[in-house]
Chain A
Amino acid sequence: MDAIQAIINGKEISAEPGMTILQAAKANGIHIPTLCDHPAVSPFGACRICLVEAEKNPKLLPACTTPLTPGMVVFTNTPKVIEARKAVLELILVRHPLNCFSCPSNGKCELQDVAYELGVKESSYADPGDTNTSHEYEDANPFYVRDLNKCILCGRCVRVCEEQAQYHAIDFQGRGIRTSIQPPVGSPIELSDCVFCGQCVQVCPVGALSEKTALGMGRPWDIEKVKTVCSYCGVGCEVEINVNRKTGKIANVTTNYSSPTALNKGRSCVKGRFAWQFVNSEDRLTTPLIREGDTFRKASWDEALSLVAEKLGSIKERHGGDALGFFSSARCTNEENYLMQRLAREVMGTNNVDHCAHL
C-alpha cells in the first residue's frame, strides 16, 4: 500500500498506512508527550496527555489511538491542546505524591518529563481537605515493590502482562477514584498468577513499581547500559546490564522492546531480570580449582583442562568408554550441548549423555 501523506504542525509528512497519529509523528521526528502509550503494548487511550487537534474535527483526538488518514492536517501544540494537557496533568497530580527526592524513578520518571515539558509544578486543584485513597506500600515479594499511591493508572503493566508475558495476572479493579491495579480479588500479588518476570516494572512510567533488588544501587543518571546475552539459560535472551558507573557494579537488568537483534523481543523471565547477584558474589569461582587431598588449589585453565583430558583418557583405556558419563547443563546453549555429546560419542566412545533439564 502507498504511504500516507499528511501534515503535522505545517510539515508535510509521510507515514505507513495504519499508523496512528502518534506513531507517524514519532517516525517523522515530531514529539507528542504521552504517558499510557508504550511501543511494547497496544494503544490504550487512557491518559489523555497525547491529545491533538485536527482540522475539520471539533473534538480533541488522542494521538495514540487515532489512525492517521490521508490528507489529515494535525496540530500537536495549539493553545487549546496545551490547555487540555495541562488540565489533565494537573488532575493526575492531585493524587500523585510530589516526594520525587526519594523516589527510585526520579530522573527516569515520564510524569516528571511531561510536567517539565508543560511547566506544571503542582496541581492547582490539590486540596488538603480532599478525601483521597491511600494504599499500603507492598513489599512482601523479593522482586519488586508496589507503591500504588504513585500509580497513575496508565495500564501499561496490565497490557504488558497480558500481551507480552501473556499471564494477565493483574487488571483494573474497582471504579471511579477507587480504581486500582490488582491481581484477582482478595489475593496478594504473591499468591496470584504473577511469575515476577518484571516486565510491568520496566514499563511503569512512574515509581509505582520498582525493583527491590535495584533500590539504592544507582540513580538513573549513573547508569550505563551494556547490551549482552543473558547467561542464565540457553535461550539466549538479549538483555541490558545496567551498570552503575560510580561503583562499577550492576544496578539492575532491563530489556529493549525495540531491539531488532533481540530474539526475546524485550521479554524476560524472573531469573534473567532479577537473578544477577551471583555476578558480584564473593562465593563465585573465578578460576578452576584442582583437588589435592582434602583441599583445592587454584589452577590455570590449561592445567585444569590437561588434567581432565589425561584422566578421562586413562579411564577410557582401562575400563572402556562406557565407564564414563557426560552430564551437561540447561544453562549451555544448544551448540554447546551438541559439541559435548559429540565429544562423548566420537572421542570418548560412549552414549552415556544426559543433562539437568529433564526434571
Chain B
Amino acid sequence: MALYRAHVLICHGTGCASGGSPKVLETFREELQKKNLDKEVLVIATGCHGMCEFGPIVVVYPEGTFYSQVKPEDVAEIVEEHLYKGRIVNRLLYKEPISAQKVCHYKEIPFYGKQHRIVLSNCGYINPDNIDEYISRDGYQALGKCITEMSPAAVIEEMKKSGLRGRGGGGFPTGLKWSFCAASPGNKKYVICNADEGDPGAFMDRSILEGDPHAVLEGMMIGAYAMGADEGYIYCRAEYPLAIKRLQTAIHQATEYGLLGENVLGTDFSFDLHIKEGAGAFVCGEETALMASIEGQRGMPRPRPPFPAVKGLWGKPTNINNVETWANVPRIMLQGAECFAAMGTEKSKGTKVFALTGKVKNTGLVEVPMGITIREIVYEIGGGIIGDKKFKAVQIGGPSGGCLVEEHLDLPVDYESLTAAGAIMGSGGLVVLDESNCMVDTAKFFLEFTQRESCGKCVPCREGTKKMLDILTRITEGNGKPEDLDTLQYLGEQIKATSLCALGGTAPNPVLTTLKYFRHEYEAHINEKRCPAGACQSLLRYTIDPAKCIGCTKCARNCPVNCISGKVKEPHLIDQEKCIKCGACMANCPVGAISKG
C-alpha cells in the first residue's frame, strides 16, 4: 500500500454532494496533479460529517484541519497554501457561531464536543465505497467473532445484555425481538433492514447508509446468524439514490470478499442480501406495510398478531430493524455488551442519532449519548437559536412525535422521559422552533403530512386526520370556533385509541401536545383572530402608522393589488378587504411605517 503524507477527506453525503463536493474533489485532483503532489496527497470521498449546514466540508489529515463551505475556486488556494506551503487557509476555517472564533481542528468544534459518535464513527472518516477502509477500522471483525466463536444463542444473549432498543421509533428491546424470531419454528427466515426513513427533516439513516454501509450489512449478517436466517432485504426508499448506490457497491464488494453469500468465512453460515427500493410511501416504514410492499402488494399495514417474528415476509418468520439499530450491532459485538450498556441511562442504553434542524445555528446530524438534556443539544451542539431569538419548542419524533417546551429543556433524552412528556423518541427528527413559529401552523403542517400519507385503510386515520386538518385549517384562516378545541382533543384521543397502525395511532400527537402547551395560541387564533407568532398569513394585518408615514407612495406603487390609497405627502391607508398579505408594502417602506401583526 502506497504511503501518503496527507489525506484530503471530502464529504460526499447528499448535503455536501448537492452543494458541489464532487466538483471540489475533481478540482483537488487536478490541482494536486499540477503541483505534482498527487503521489503525496490522497483525496478521498467520505460519508457525512453531520454539519450539513456548512458543506461542502473538507478535512485535511494528519492534523485534522476542518474547512467548511469549500467551493471549487477555493481548492487551488488550499493546495498551494496548505498542502504545498504548510499554511492553513484561515478564511475557510469554520467560524464558531457563539464566540465567532475561527476553529482550526475537527475535534475543537463545539458541535462535536458533546457528541459521542459510535454509529457515526466511520462517517466522514472512511471512503464508503471501499471495503478495505471499513475492514481497516475493525470492520467485519464482529461478524467473524460471532460466526466462528459464538453460538447464535450467545449472540442474542449479548444483545439482550447490551440493552439496545429499536432506533426506528418503537424502542422495543432488540435482543428480545431477536429471541422471538429465533424461537419461531421454521427453516426459512428473513431479516429486513428498514431504510424507509420518511419523517420530514430526518436523514439519520440516509447518512449512515451513505457513510458506512458495511456496518449495516455486518449488523444484518450477525442478526441473521443469531436468528437462523439466510436471506435479507434492505428496504430503502428510492429517494435515496446515493445510499442505494453505496449499498450496491458494498454488497458487491462483500460478496467478492466472501463475506456475503455461501459459507461466509468458510463456515456453515450463508447469507444472501437484496435491496428493495420503496416507491415513496411514508406508511411503508410500518413493518407490515413494508413487507407487503416487498411482496409486491400495496403498502398497507395489517393488524398484528400475527407478528412478523411468527409470520412475516412471504409468511415466514422475519425480523425487522431499522438502519441505526443494525449499525449498532457490530460495535456491540466487538466491544462487548457492557461497554455499550455503560453509555446512556438505566433503561435507554447507548447513543442516539438525531437530525437537528429548524431554528438552530448548527443544523446537521448529531449523535449523543442517551440521557443528554435537550438544552445541551439545542444550545451547546446546536449553538443556540438563529438570530438569538427566543426558544419556543422542539418538535421531537417527527409527525408522530410531540413538542416539548422550555420547561422540558433539562429533560434527559431517553425513551421513558420523552414519552412521559407527551413526545416520543421516534426515529430521531428534532426540529427546533423559535418565537416566530406558530404552533397551530406547526401542528397543521404535520397533520397535512400524515393525512397525505395515510394509507386510507382504517377509518380513524383516513377520515379523522382529515377532520382534524380541516379544523386546524379553519383556525389558521381565522374561522375557528370555540368548540373546535374540544373537538380536536376528543378526535385526537379517539384516533389514537382506534387506529390500526402506529401512523394513525401517533398522528394526533403534534396537535395534542401543542394543545397542551400552547392552548393560548389556539385561543388567540379563534377568539381574537390573531396569530401571536405572526406566521398565519390569513390572520396577518399590515397597517401603516400615520405618524410615521411620509406619503412617499412607494408602498402604493409596489402593491400588486392596488389596495393602498393616499395622497402624496399624506399618510396612506391599506384596504384590509383587498389586501393579500404579500408584504411588498412593508418591504418597500423607506421609513418603517408599516407593521404586521
Instruction: Mark A residues whose CB is within 8 Å of B.
Output: 43-48, 51, 59-60, 62, 65-67, 83-84, 87-88, 91-92, 94-95, 125, 127, 129-131, 152-153, 155, 171-172, 174-179
Contact: A155 with B497, CB < 8 Å?
A: no
* B576 contacts the other chain (CB 8 A): no
Q: List chain A residues, Cβ under 8 A from B479.
A: 129
Instruction: Indicate whether A48 sits within 8 Å of B500 (C-beta atoms), given known contacts A67-B305, A179-B456.
Output: yes
B281 to chain A, nearest CB (A): 7
Q: Are A172 and B456 in contact (CB under 8 A)?
A: yes
Question: Given A127-B470, A171-B298, A91–B459 Cβ distance below 8 Å?
Answer: yes
| Residues of chain B at the chain A interface (Cβ within 8 Å) | 281, 283, 298, 300, 302-303, 305, 451-460, 462-467, 470, 474, 479, 487, 490-491, 494, 497-500
A65 in contact with B303 (CB, 8 Å): yes
Interfacial chain B residues near A59, Cβ < 8 Å: 497
Please classify the interface of chain B as helix (H, G, I), strand (E, B), loop, or mixed, using the class held by over half of its residues.
helix
Residues of chain B within 8 A (CB-CB) of A51 are 498
How far is it, in angstroms, between the C-alpha of A66 and the C-alpha of B303 when the chains are bound?
Answer: 8
Please pick, from A66, A83, A88, A92, the residue contacting B305 in the complex, using a CB distance under 8 A.
A66
- Do B459 and A88 touch (CB < 8 A)? yes
Please state if B303 and A176 are interface contacts (CB–CB under 8 Å).
no
State in angstroms the CA–CA spacing of A244 and B501 once bound together: 45
> A92 to B499, Cβ gap below 8 A?
no
- When the two chains form their complex, are residues B498 and A87 in contact, meaning their CB atoms are under 8 A apart? yes
What are the residues of chain A within 8 A of B499 when measuring CB–CB? 48
A174 to chain B, nearest CB (A): 7
For the complex with contacts A48-B458, A176-B453, 14 further pairs of A-B residues with Cβ separation under 8 Å are A46-B500, A51-B498, A67-B305, A84-B497, A87-B490, A87-B491, A88-B494, A92-B463, A129-B470, A129-B479, A172-B300, A174-B456, A175-B281, A177-B456
A131: chain B residues within 8 A (beta carbon): 470
20 residue pairs from A and B, CB less than 8 Å apart: A43-B303, A45-B303, A45-B458, A48-B458, A48-B499, A59-B497, A84-B498, A87-B460, A87-B490, A87-B491, A88-B494, A92-B463, A94-B467, A129-B474, A130-B467, A153-B459, A172-B456, A175-B454, A176-B456, A179-B462
Residue pair A46, B494 in contact (C-beta under 8 Å): no
**Best-surrounded residue of A47, A60, A177 (most CB of chain B within 10 A):** A177
Report the Cα distance A267→B577, complex, angstroms: 63
One of A46, A125, A153, A178 near B487 (C-beta < 8 A): A125
Cα separation A178 to B459 with both chains bound (whole Å): 13
Contacts of B454 in A (CB 8 A): 175-177, 179
| B467: chain A residues within 8 A (beta carbon) | 91, 94, 125, 130
How many Å lie between the Cα of A130 and that of B470 in the bound state? 7
Given contacts A125-B491, A131-B470, A172-B298, contact A179 B455 (CB under 8 A): yes
Chain B's closest residue to A96 (CB) is B463
The CA-CA distance from A171 to B457 in the complex, in Å, is: 11
**Nearest-CB residue, chain B, relative to A47:** B459
A60 adjacent to B497 (CB under 8 Å): yes
Cβ-defined contact, A175 with B459, below 8 A: no
> What's the minimum C-beta distance from B573 to chain A, rounded to whole angstroms?
31
Known: A84-B498, A175-B281. A46 touches B463 (CB 8 A): no
The CA of A46 and the CA of B463, in the complex, are separated in Å by 12
Among A44, A46, A179, residue most surrounded by chain B Cβ atoms (within 10 Å)? A46
**B contact residues around A125 at 8 Å (CB):** 467, 487, 491
Contacts of A127 in B (CB 8 A): 470
Which residue of chain A lies nearest to B283 when distances are taken between CB atoms in the complex? Answer: A175
Q: Are B466 and A155 in touch, CB under 8 angstroms?
A: no
Q: Tell me how far the C-beta of A111 lies from the nearest C-beta in chain B, rounded to whole angstroms.
A: 11
- Within the assembled complex, what's the spacing in Å between the Cα atoms of A91 and B479? 21
Is A47 a contact of B458 with CB atoms below 8 Å?
yes
CB contacts (< 8 Å) of A129 on chain B: these are 470, 474, 479
Specify the chain A residue showing the minimal Cβ separation from B297. A171
Q: Please give the distance in Å from A168's CB to the nearest CB on chain B.
A: 10
Interfacial chain A residues near B465, Cβ < 8 Å: 176
When C-beta atoms are compared, the residue in chain A nearest to B463 turns out to be: A91
Q: With A60-B497, A176-B465, A177-B466 given, is the CB distance from A46 to B458 under 8 Å?
A: yes
Evaluate contact between B462 and A177: CB separation under 8 angstroms.
yes
Q: What's the Cα separation between A44 and B455 when bound, in Å? A: 14
CA distance A92 to B460 in the complex (A): 9
A60 to B497, CA, bound (A): 7
Least CB distance from B287 to A in Å reads: 15
- Residues B462 and A153 in contact, CB atoms below 8 Å apart: yes
Q: Which residue from chain B places its CB closest to the CB of A174 in the assembled complex? A: B456
A43 to B491, CA, bound (A): 26
With A84-B498, A91-B467 known as contacts, the answer to whether A46 contacts B460 (CB < 8 A) is no
- Which residues on the B side are within 8 Å of A46 (C-beta)? 457-459, 500
Assess the B453–A155 pair: CB atoms within 8 A. no
CA distance A125 to B474 in the complex (A): 13
Give the chain B neighbours of A43 by CB distance below 8 A.
303
CB distance from A80 to the nearest CB of B (A): 8
In the assembly, what is the distance between CA of A175 and CA of B465, in Å?
Answer: 12
Which of B454, B456, B491 has the most chain A CB within a 10 Å cutoff? B456
Establish whether residues B455 and A60, one from each chain, have CB atoms under 8 Å apart when the complex forms: no
Complex CA distance for A125 and B302, rounded to whole angstroms: 27
Q: Which residues of A contact B459 (CB under 8 A)?
A: 46-48, 88, 91-92, 152-153
- Chain A to chain B: the 9 pairs with minimum beta-carbon distance, closest first: A179-B456, A45-B303, A87-B494, A91-B463, A65-B303, A176-B454, A177-B466, A176-B451, A48-B498
Tell me, in angstroms, the Cα distance from A279 to B128 when the chains sit together: 75
Instruction: List chain A residues, Cβ under 8 A from B474.
Output: 129
Asked, given contacts A48-B498, A87-B498, whether A153 binds B464 with beta carbons under 8 Å apart, the answer is no
> Which residues of B sit under 8 angstroms from A174, Cβ to Cβ?
456
